[in-house]
Structure 1
Amino acid sequence: DFNNNSNSSLNYAIENNLVSMISDSQRIRKGDYIIFYLQQNRAKKVYEGKFYGIFKAKDNHSFLDNNDKNQFLKQQLNKSLTFRTMIEPYKVYPIGVTEWEALDEIKYIQSPNQMLWSLIYRKLRANRGNTMITIYESERLIKLIKDKNNSKTLNCNSLTFDTDKQEIIADNAKYNYTGRKENVNILPRLINKFSQGKSFEPHLQAYIVQNIGIKTHNNLDNLLVNNYDIEWIGNEVYCGVGMQKIDIMLSLIKEDERIIEPIELKSVCATPDIIFQIQRYIDWIEQYYIPNRISDIQPVIISKKISNKQSSNYTQLINNLKNLNSKNNILPLKYIEFDINNNNINFQQIIY
């Protein structure tokens, strides 16, 4: 009830969970590869999870079809699917790769950083539907699917799933989506929570991943993307079995130059101890990400504006940022503050 609306009747925990799902859906960009996961279900003779693909997103972002009696295919599916994404076949292979083959088998693994950690972390949490994986991980998973099928794809645009064979097969029928397509607008709710002094980090994350790189918020693009292209967007990126998560991570590219930006979000003012979290992100990226996709690391902090730049908190924060830069082989950390005026959120980089 909070989409395009400043108020909500939902419990804050339920709202935040839904907003996290919105973030997952709004990071999708046209042309993104999509791989399906068939969950283990022994009652239906699905004895192990499997990965199937490859499809592509037809448009930027998912849209909403709210959970009511008019929701498209709700009765036929006997479940609600609120977040919808238009997809199309790309290179679709009929046979899926098992979870064991993708996540556990290590005979072709030379180093731990080559394992599909995004999916392993997801398995440990077991509560996330739409999970991004890194470009390297997608290349590896797609290669496994391709090899499992001896490179043979299905040459058709209408497809279905044979539950007995557990294979994707051709389908002569043609189906059109005739449900609702409600666009997501989280900003009114974000502004309301800001004005009431309530936490809104999930809402800020959803707003940024929805708008970054598509020329709907030039201020944000100039600060985070500049003259680079975005080749990958991640949110809630797991970076350790302790389930630490990078709020947003961007991979930027220009010719043969790459920058990876781990972004820490705060709906409150940044404090000096924020650098401990940033250091953990740097350490993880250096060990698990960089070996598979060589990039420069440029951490980013986005937090509420500190009005008193003479305060001891601000002085210590800036000193800590400088120390972080000097002790790591990284591009200088970007410190960005935001403020909300006239129902708009404005971002400004602080040069320190």
Structure 2
Amino acid sequence: MNKSRLSVALLVIGSSLLAPTFAHAQNVRGFVFGAESSAPLQGVMVRLLSITLQPIDTVTTDFLGRFAFQARGPEQYIIVAERTGYGAAPQVVEVGPIALARVSVSIKMQPMGVAAESTLGDERIAHLRGRVVVSGTNDPVEGALVTLVGSGKTVLSRWDGRFVLGDVQPGLQQMRVEHLAYAGRTWAIEAQPGSAYDARIPIEVEAIALDGIEVSVRSRAVARKLEPVFERMERGLGGIFLTTHDFLQRGNGPVANMLQGLPSTRVTGNGGSSWRLSFRRGSSNLQAGCSPEIWVDGIRMVSARGDQSEFLAMSTLDVEVIEVFPSASSIPADYATNSFCMVGIWTKRGG
């Protein structure tokens, strides 16, 4: 079986010497030769197809490997060269509207062996088998999805890169090879009735673009301080807890904006020194409400009725967790306070 590479060089030349047979016709010329020997190949079947794969003309190369077609422009065509022991991917040729236009196309073909014909018994079908490998190294590719285009037939390549597609209808067939880590590739072959084909399909490694990953690192000292806070969150011990996830969803505004709309919570003012926080319960004077203490990283910073504005205006970009305790019964024992209500702010730097 001849395993030589096959290269097809196509020269599209508009020549007045050949007297085109219809308007805007061009003479599509080319030659076929073996890549390893550089010798012309005689008897290669060359097909001219429309862009929708409809057959237009078929010729055979002469002893110098030459062939020629007449083609109308402007139009795109597909040319496929076929010979036992070789395979050919479809190549698109652009024929322009001007009869004397000159276009040249150089095509390199990968080797594709063909098993002995007329050994399958059924002359109405063909079988396609092959091996998917990494281009340049020939390492096998496992788990590549091989699809026979237009038929719905799919198969995964094995650990050694091999695959089999059976019961293939004769004629020009296209196989699509796809893998997450490699660039997809389409391969074409003319399936002959009663034949089995063995294809070697190289695919290129392709880098996979991944979304950015954001990593948050917390020091051990901060983590130790936050352990009881997260324990209270998990146990749901009477408070309301806001985390960086909540801050992000609400635009990472100041602390006051994060507290607005919480149950039993009232925030007044429009920013800066005018912010004021109170709770509608936790005090014997319900009309006045409860003015909370504010603690930052476990330290009392504002006593009841004190000036809260500085801490309510704090950016939540620097905050890890906010604890809200609107009543005396909800305040954990970790806070040594006699207040009726309080807010605990835990920063990312831990104080």
The normalised TM-score by structure 2 is 0.21
Higher share of residues assigned helix: 1
The normalised TM-score by structure 1 is 0.21
Higher share of residues assigned strand: 2
Structure number with greater CO (CA < 8 Å, separation at least 6) is 1
Q: Which has the larger radius of gyration?
A: 2
